[in-house]
Structure 1
């Protein structure tokens, strides 16, 4: 008994449903597309693939950045940095000190780590705290074989050439002494 209907099934139950005409859908593969549509097809798929790859990589990148941030905060960040470069001999002297008084000095190829005493570190911080000249100046940079001084303390930084501002002198003198003391060649003990 065919009345122009078909039997449809849903969840295991059959019923008679009138026959419906659906529009014909054809699947168009990239090989059957005109060149212009192929380019759009490829572009869309590459865009989707790129977005999915970025989403997949994002958590790993974020975790890696968090790991680097944790590593950076586990070490005391540098709060003091001083550099003296130039002159006739082309010297390069520098010192950096973290908030615990741990430091690193370097001059040319030589370098050394050190620990300031509490008294030394306290005096240096007082001297640096007294510095009020935190703007850079090119005065003296045109002099042949000049020295260039760079001073950084607690996020402030300035560069000077040839001569130092008066308020820099006590701190720079102490920093130069720290460099000299920790890079001095070790001397053999004296024999009496």
Structure 2
């Protein structure tokens, strides 16, 4: 009986050992899987570091390129502004010089016109015509040629007066046109 009990206990022990073997085999598989997982996690960690380094380098390169591109665009814009400013300044100086020249011409023409008007105003045309008329009356009144000649001279003087007045108006008109043109330009 003892043998049977020992055999029975051995059978139970064998069953428990089989169960224990399955558990230890399972634990050995889990251990192998854990080692594989840990190894793969190390690879993933290395790849992660490599990928993040590549991303950082790519980001840094893009920032550098963007900075260089922006600086180039800003420098080109500043150059264009300077060039445009210089052109405007040159054009304004030319216009200012031309305006001063036109104003000087206008001043000269105005002074000449004022002198002409003063000179014409100083002439006492009625007195002068009266003097001429009296000279004609004093001369041979019977001489028709002398009379005709004097009449022609009077007409000529009247025409000259009209011509002077016309020239005066033309000069004034030119001055006004020059001034308007100078202002417009």
Q: TM-score, normalised by structure 2?
A: 0.24
The structure with the greater share of residues assigned to helix is 2
